Homo-oligomer: A and B are copies of this chain.
């Protein structure tokens, strides 16, 4: 069994409306010194696989096809063997 920690982030060139909204809120609350707020996702998934290679291939496929939008997002992941 492996645990994958997956990070999905917007590509640099893509505007981040959520980040802009959070930044506006922070400024309104007095945190004027913050800038460039970017929001992404962090996901954890347990996956059964016979070896690390199979786990890696499965997680990469899941990221490419389901969890990340390749047009506007990048993904990377870390794999850890668990129980």
A58 CB–B CB distance under 8 Å:
yes
Q: Contact mask A41-73 → B, CB, 8 Å, 1/0?
A: 111111111000000001000100111000000
Which partner residue on chain B sits nearest A36 by CB separation? B46
Residues of B within 8 A of A9 (CB): 42
Residue of B19, B41, B44, B62 near A36 (CB, 8 A) is B44
Interface size on A, residues (CB 8 A): 30
Rounded to whole Å, the gap between the CB of A52 and the closest CB of chain B is 14
A58–B44 contact, CB under 8 A?
no
A29 CB–B CB distance under 8 Å:
yes
Residues of B within 8 A of A44 (CB): 36-38, 40
Residue of B22, B37, B42, B46 near A40 (CB, 8 A) is B42
